[in-house]
Amino acid sequence: MVRPVTMPVGARRKRLVLEGPVEVPDSIGGAAISYQAIATLWGEVIAKSGRETSEGERLAGAVETRIRIRFRDAIDARMRFRLGARIFAIRAAFDADGTRRWTTCLVDEVIP
């Protein structure tokens, strides 16, 4: 008998806000991208590994982070998560085991 993959309730202890992009017209006929809250979700935020990257003449740190929430369809790379003042841009979202129980998102933390 195959047991379903479960996530302890305590693991989903972070209150995340899922935000989607909205175009806001500016005064010169263009548009700026702003973000609007879509849903507030409980999730798990896991920093997987860190690495150094080169940005021009300086070194910068990058942390590979994974966010896992209850299954939610229609999450894409234009969206982002907010955790307090922290912002996580979504790189990919997928149902890792195909059971439609959890959505795993690979994210990059945005440093303003």
Domain spans of the chain?
A: 11-110
Please give the residue that has the higher pLDDT: either 52 or 69.
Answer: 69
The fourth-level CATH superfamily of domain 11-110 is Bacteriophage SPP1 head-tail adaptor protein (2.40.10.270)
Which tens digits make up the pLDDT trace of 72-106? 999 999 999 999 999 999 999 999 999 999 999 99
State pTM to two decimals: 0.78
Residue range 64-79: average pLDDT? 94
CA distance 36 to 108: 19
